[in-house]
Structure 1
Amino acid sequence: MRFLVWLLRAFLFFALFAFALNNQQVVTVHWFFGFVWNAPLVIVVLAALVAGLVFGVLAMTPSWWRQRRRARQRPSAEPPAPAEAPSASAARAIPADFPDGI
């Protein structure tokens, strides 16, 4: 299994490396107020990926904080309630032709 994981990682690395080698053309990104940025296309794509990741993490942070606060407020001394056993009528609902319920 480890060999397959490393094989997948190697494939992903070489695919991204080939992508970077095929996208070395210089592109111009025009920002507001006349600001211009010239960079290789692969750098622009990587910067967009990083910006998206940062934006996603920042957007999720308030939700994470809220969940952590709720988890700390719950009393941990109480054990969870035991699950109820199925009733006898529910056990009889499965026909004898289908012992596994399918």
Structure 2
Amino acid sequence: MSIARNLNLWLTSDGPAVTVERLPGAAAFPPPGVSARLFTLAHGQVGRYRANFRFRFTQCACDPSWYYEDWVVHVSNGRVAHDRFLHGEPDHDVDNRVHLYGGPARRDNR
């Protein structure tokens, strides 16, 4: 679970199910907010979370330098086939990618 925490994800088990939530982070965009429930996985299920973020190097307005991260995170509840993340379809798919300069959300066919 420490890997999930390092990714600002919170895992909660409720019997055989696992709920995955995104915790507020330090991204400049999308703006930090409250946690958001991503999905609940039954035993043997896989969830995929996609997001992109814009971060500032400093909190000072005098330095407008940015860097970007584009995430694809797979989470499983229990053991799954070794190639499930790469070749299988997830049971739950959350795509929170945004256009980092405003405008409509970024989507692709992946």
TM-score strictly above 0.5: no
- Would you tell me which structure has more helix in proportion to its own residues? 1
The structure with the largest strand share of the pair is 2
What is the TM-score of this pair, normalised by structure 2? 0.19
Structure number with bigger Rg: 1
TM-score computed with the length of structure 1 as normaliser = 0.20
Higher relative contact order (CA 8 A, sep 6+): 2
